[in-house]
Amino acid sequence: MDFLTRMTKVIDYIEEHISEDFNFDELANIVCCSVYQFGRIFSYITGISLSEYIRNRRLSLAALELQNGNVKVIDVAMKYGYSSSESFARAFREMHGISPKEACIKGTTLKMFHRIEFQILIKGATNMDYRIEKKDIIKCAGVVTNLGKFKANGQVENRKTGQECWTDFLDNGPDMIIARKYKLYRPPFWQIGFSQTLDNGDIILSIGAEDGGGNYPELTHFEVPAATWVVFSSTGVFGPKAIGALQTKIFKEWLPSSGYEQVMNYQMEIYPPGNSKSKNYTFEIWIPVEKTK
């Protein structure tokens, strides 16, 4: 099944289960990646986050129900994942500019966020440089955060986003502790970002550096499991779009035709020293793989 077909199946699944408390892992499994990876891929391809897409589709369908039938606002709110009429009204007004009660009036102007459709766009073939690395367990020290599960309304369970974790790490001390106090940043791994999805759906984000064997009371120890990795690099100004672009190419172009498959719900990102705003900056994404049978 090609990548375009998989993405279309994701949208089909969302539409079929739009009013249900569905599991985000089901969406990611269709594209054969983790929830964390899929969130980045979806945002890069569509220009909107997965949570925004689902929220906008639900609020569009909710508006149709309010205009087309004799229904109670609280019933529609509950159907589309809102625990109270107040929270539903806030989200509804933010999108439509009016209250749910006003939407019940015939002739009221409402906004419709349409279902996404994917089309084939043929471009010139491009090469993807990669290398295969086999590594034992990598012992690390840094900051470990449980981001919680993605809920059906698109939000993470009352916890930080991955971007907020990185901002805290870089701006609030841990980065300087690792760099200056313990001098742990060194080749080949430099600064490590390790994300994994647990069996219960929790997303764990660990940021730090390879452990030097010392005592680091301000930091938390974590391990990157032993694996065979395929490693990809991207050169250019760094940001969420650069990560999304590289991950999309990995799952859209490389993995389907490589004879390899991702084997675990985690990945590692490597950030060497340098100016991340420079067009010459290079970072890496490591994906655990094995040969397909």
Which domain covers residue 281, as residue numbers?
Answer: 130-291
Greater pLDDT, 239 or 120: 239
pLDDT of residue 159: 62
pLDDT of residue 126: 56
pLDDT tens digits, 50-81:
888 999 999 999 999 998 878 889 999 999 98
Residues near 64 by Cβ (< 8 Å), separated by ≥ 6? 110, 112
Q: Is 129 exposed, middle or buried (0-12, 13-18, 19+ CB in 10 A)?
A: exposed
Mean pLDDT, rounded, of the chain: 87
143 and 86: one domain? no
278 and 148: one domain? yes
Greater pLDDT, 181 or 293: 181
pLDDT of residue 120: 57
Helix ranges restricted to H, the chain: 3-16, 24-31, 35-46, 50-68, 73-79, 85-96, 100-103, 162-171, 174-176, 240-249, 255-258
pLDDT tens digits, 219-243:
999 999 999 999 999 999 898 889 9
64 and 159: one domain? no
Residue 125: inside a domain: no
Considering the chain, what percentage of its residues have pLDDT values greater than 90? Answer: 44
Whether the predicted pLDDT of 155 surpasses 60: no
* CATH number of the domain bearing residue 160: 3.20.80.10
Whether the predicted pLDDT of 127 surpasses 90: no
In angstroms, the CA 252 to CA 3 distance is 5
Q: How far is CA 52 from CA 64, 95, 121, 153, 242, in A?
A: 18, 11, 24, 9, 20
134 and 55: one domain? no
Phi, then psi, of 95 in degrees rounded to 5? -85, -50
Phi, then psi, of 193 in degrees rounded to 5? -115, 120
82 and 219: one domain? no
pLDDT of residue 62: 93
32 and 99: one domain? yes
pLDDT of residue 96: 92
Give pTM, 2 decimals.
0.80
> Residue 148 in 3-state DSSP?
strand
In angstroms, the CA 176 to CA 282 distance is 21
Nearest-CA neighbor of 14 among 54, 55, 45? 54
DSSP structural state of residue 151: P
Residue 119: inside a domain: no
199 and 285: one domain? yes
AA identity, residue 218: E
* CATH number of the domain bearing residue 35: 1.10.10.60
Residue 115: inside a domain: no
Question: What is the number of domains present in the chain?
Answer: 2
Q: Which sign does the torsion angle of CA 63, 69, 72, 74 carry?
A: negative
pLDDT of residue 153: 46
Whether the predicted pLDDT of 154 surpasses 50: no
The region of weakest confidence among 3-7, 266-270, 285-289 is 3-7
pLDDT of residue 1: 60
Phi, then psi, of 149 in degrees rounded to 5? -100, 150
